[in-house]
Structure 1
Amino acid sequence: MTEPDLLSRHRAVLPEWLTLYYSEPIEIVGASGRHVTDSRGRRYLDFFAGILTNALGYDVAEVRDALRAQLDTGVLHTSTLYLIRNQVELAERIAKLSGIPDAKVFFTNSGTEANETALMLATQYRRSNQVLALRNSYHGRAFATVGVTGNRGWSASSLSPVKVSYVHGGYRYRGPFSGYSDADYIAACVEDLRDVLTTTTSGDVAALIAEPIQGVGGFNVPPDGLFGEFKQVLDEEGILFVSDEVQTGWGRTGQHFWGIEAHGVTPDIMTFAKGVGNGLAIGGVIARREIMDCLRANSISTFGGNPLATAAAAATLDYLLDHDLQSNAAELGERLLRGLRDIGDAHPVVGDVRGKGLMIGLELVVPGGSRPSERAAGIVLEETRSRGLLVGKGGLHGNVVRLAPPMTLTAEEAEQALRILGEAVAVADREVGEAQRPDR
């Protein structure tokens, strides 16, 4: 079957709002290392890793062996009504790694489900339905998580089980504080937080939920220490802090194992997903014991923390730690940032290059200013694909190219990606720039 045939069938039976990349969407049928192969036999270097999920890359022997060992037992599913050894052992490790004192862990199937659970715990513990979130944030596609998502492009409904107030601090490149120094930016955002608490809430707020680096919003990086200052304000009112580590966890930022560590603060609740399963569906919530145990109703998770997913996660965690992939992310991320900034210096279509570790965003603009150019991002997406590189796209205006390769990336692959990105950005710079000429 050809890709056009599959695309036609996809459009007939799947929702129109289910996004597909590329003017001619591809089907990935094979993969190894950091490379994937489509149904036409074309091979690509993958710089988006299944939306940051394939942290180790593809066909990793250690993960494959762990899955096979679990398959050989015949037990793929039992539910949380029974003891699951893999689940208990993984929870013990993650609780310790979290740094949260006296932590407990609840496993889910995704980041969306993890964030839904975190919001339920926080609102129940605080007996309040008021939540603070950051502008331009994204926390998932379920009812409450859509309700706290501060990005109109991903907010399907204004209906919500929580009352949300949005604060500044996520998207630094644009907004009223964009030209501030780090210290002045933090001070302005803290002042805004206090003002929002005073003017838009009744005071008894349940929690603030924040991504240490905004993912879907365009890999926006706030100054280190911002959330530490936020936490001081929150603590004055007894408000919980939830760190959404779905994209920033497991060492991807290079500097720290968890993104929030850059801010010198331990959150009350953390959520995780994506990379720890290396392709298997798993997510979860980590919280202090009294918060996790605050529910007074029965609950289960039919598939959360199932034997197969937790076996894969344990093997992935072993590999991440044994091979010190956090250091690899730091080293190669810095190399990519330097190279991309050189590309940006040569091409006015690049408005901003930002990121940490292997989590990097290129914000593309109309040359000669800072007006967002979704067209330029679309050109880069297509041009990189035609040259054998897969990248992501996002941002409030759809104009940010997102780079998040597997954390096993090699130096040679980083150089290959920089070469392709340089060529693709040059095409976007030329085409978008020419479209702005007066005779056009």
Structure 2
Amino acid sequence: MSQPTQQRIVKTAIPGPASLELHGRRETSFSSSFSVTVPLYIDRAGGGILVDVDGNHLIDLAAGIAVTSVGASHPRVVEAVKEQVDRFTHTGFLVTQYEAALGVAERLNALTPGDFPKRTALFSTGAEAIENVVKISRVYTGRDAIVVLGHAYHGRTLLTMTMTSKNVPYKEGFGPFAPEIYRVPSPYPYRWTGRGEDIAQEAFDQLAEQVRTQIGAHNVAAIIVEPIQGEGGFIVPPEGYLTKVAKFARENGIVFVADEIQTGLGRTGDMFAVNHEGVVPDLIATAKALAGGLPLSAVTGRAEIMNAVPAGGLGGTYSGNPLAAAAAVAALDVIVEEDLPARAREIESIVKPRLEALAKEGSRIGEVRGRGAMIAAEFVVPGTTEPDPDAVKKIAAYAIERGVLILVAGTFGNVIRLLPPLVIGDELLNDALDVLEEAVRDLDVLPTEVVRSVA
């Protein structure tokens, strides 16, 4: 099937009648515990466009929550999956092996930061990768404690939701939580006073003090950080912070882990977000963009750490599924050969100035932040830093009605986050930004609609 026309086309109300009919079926068949950003049903997608069942062409500024960086139907990914389907769909990598999984591991070993021997393990989801990061770190160090940051998001399993900061909707009612997880304050430059270098030092000092005095550095297996916090609101740590934390971990025999599930593989304008500060993690977790839309995740890192778990200690029925592995080989090749990190930087050069122009004195935009094709605007009550979640609900609703899909995020639910596919064209991107500008300028007269945050 050919790629959809790369143009915003609104034929019906959004959601349209066909979507609403399908949504009626959803309400009588699917658990209501799954959130609904918008009751919109997609028929096909590609490039920067989603085509719904009513024929509306929507500009995609969500990329399946940073998954479809190469687009939702890149020809090379599609062809690789078709070829693999013809061969076999599953054998179980723990039973018999196949070359595609090796190809993913070899590419990740080469692409991830660090000039040392590496090994990779493949899993299915981002949360599963983080679960295994914890297992590997505990076995390697012989320690139990895991340190995470405020505003963090690491997943929805029992362990990873314990590591996640935000209570509603991720944790409420699901306790008791996993033991030996410790949270330290995370630098949030917009909401902390002082210059960037002072904030970096202050936040690091708090982390080091808590680790030394409240946990005991000798008890800590790993410190796990998102180089840019995703669901927390695209919070970019001040320069120097990650470097200090990585050095502290190394000095205390602690495994330093980068959760690059959302930020990795070109999204922030470099292959990995830690590269912006020259930080080399011991372990790095990837997922989302890894397999062009198919479920696949990975943990990559120092060979001596990755090989610490005895044979049989890692794995899973679907770990490194052959369809997903074939898709990942193709997607990784596209990211490298088409230089999508450079494209992410071009996207930033288009998006950031236009949003910053709206963040003038008296605006509801308190800050525009992010890197590459991972840009956010935090909305506040004008003249204050008080979060304004109602504003982002209005903007998201306005945008979807006009054929632009965006996501809401942030600990306070007051952040618009933009995650376009890295293959989106400039014309399409600027059209979407026109709609966002209209929404921000007309904010006072927009009706309030609820659009939920997802991660």
- Asked if TM exceeds 0.5, the reply is yes
Report the equivalent of 1:198: 212
What amino acid sits opposite 2:84 in the alignment? Q
What amino acid sits opposite 2:238 in the alignment? P
Instruction: Check 1:170–1:182 CA distance in 2 against 1; reply closer, same or farther (3 A cut).
Output: closer
> Does 2:428 match 1:413?
yes
SS at 1:128 equivalent: coil
In 2, Cα distance between equivalents of 1:368 and 1:14:
43
> Does 2:79 match 1:65?
yes
Unaligned runs of 5+ in 1: 434-440
In 2, Cα distance between equivalents of 1:297 and 1:92:
20
How far has the Cα of 1:201 moved from its partner? 0.3
- For 1:156-305, what aligned pairs fall within 5 Å after superposition? 156=172, 157-174=174-191, 178-203=192-217, 204-254=219-269, 256-296=270-310, 298-299=312-313, 300-305=315-320
Report sequence identity in percent: 32
> Does 2:392 match 1:377?
yes
How far has the Cα of 1:34 moved from its partner? 0.9
Q: 1:52 aligns with which of 66, 77, 88?
A: 66
Q: RMSD over aligned Cα, in angstroms?
A: 1.8
Count of residue correspondences: 426
Q: 2:89 aligns with which of 76, 84, 100?
A: 76
How far has the Cα of 1:173 moved from its partner? 2.1
Instruction: Check 1:159–1:127 CA distance in 2 against 1; reply closer, same or farther (3 A cut).
Output: farther
In 1, Cα distance between equivalents of 2:187 and 2:165:
10
Unaligned runs of 5+ in 2: 1-16, 449-455
How far has the Cα of 1:388 moved from its partner? 1.2
What amino acid sits opposite 2:426 in the alignment? A
Instruction: Check 1:431–1:369 CA distance in 2 against 1; reply closer, same or farther (3 A cut).
Output: farther
> Does 2:98 match 1:98?
no
SS at 1:332 equivalent: helix
CA contact (8 A) 2:197 2:239 kept: no
CA contact (8 A) 2:187 2:203 kept: no
In 2, Cα distance between equivalents of 1:35 and 1:311:
24
Q: 2:30 aligns with which of 5, 10, 14?
A: 14
What amino acid sits opposite 1:128 in the alignment? R
How far has the Cα of 1:346 moved from its partner? 7.0
What do the CA deviations read for 1:148-167 (whole angstroms, capped 9, x no partner)?
11222222434333312222
CA contact (8 A) 1:366 1:432 kept: no
In 2, Cα distance between equivalents of 1:387 and 1:347:
26
What do the CA deviations read for 1:46-73 (whole angstroms, capped 9, x no partner)?
0001001011113221111111221222
Instruction: Check 1:366–1:379 CA distance in 2 against 1; reply closer, same or farther (3 A cut).
Output: same
CA contact (8 A) 1:347 1:426 kept: no
CA contact (8 A) 1:226 1:263 kept: no
SS at 1:345 equivalent: coil
In 1, Cα distance between equivalents of 2:294 and 2:73:
13
TM-score (norm 2): 0.90
In 2, Cα distance between equivalents of 1:124 and 1:96:
25
Runs of 4 or more consecutive aligned structure 1 residues displaced over 6 Å after TM superposition = none
What do the CA deviations read for 1:218-268 (whole angstroms, capped 9, x no partner)?
1111123311111122222111111000011111101x2111112222111
In 2, Cα distance between equivalents of 1:15 and 1:192:
42
What amino acid sits opposite 2:55 in the alignment? G
What do the CA deviations read for 1:68-91 (whole angstroms, capped 9, x no partner)?
221222x11111111211111221
CA contact (8 A) 2:50 2:58 kept: yes
Instruction: Check 1:222–1:248 CA distance in 2 against 1; reply closer, same or farther (3 A cut).
Output: same
In 1, Cα distance between equivalents of 2:103 and 2:45:
30
What do the CA deviations read for 1:292-314 (whole angstroms, capped 9, x no partner)?
12223624322121211111111
Report the equivalent of 1:328: 343
In 1, Cα distance between equivalents of 2:436 and 2:338:
28
> Does 2:2 match 1:2?
no
Instruction: Check 1:9–1:171 CA distance in 2 against 1; reply closer, same or farther (3 A cut).
Output: farther
Report the equivalent of 1:436: none
SS at 2:326 equivalent: helix
In 1, Cα distance between equivalents of 2:362 and 2:354:
13
CA contact (8 A) 1:349 1:428 kept: no
In 2, Cα distance between equivalents of 1:67 and 1:225:
42
What amino acid sits opposite 1:426 in the alignment? R
Instruction: Check 1:86–1:297 CA distance in 2 against 1; reply closer, same or farther (3 A cut).
Output: closer
In 2, Cα distance between equivalents of 1:365 and 1:112:
31
What amino acid sits opposite 1:155 in the alignment? K
What amino acid sits opposite 1:283 in the alignment? S
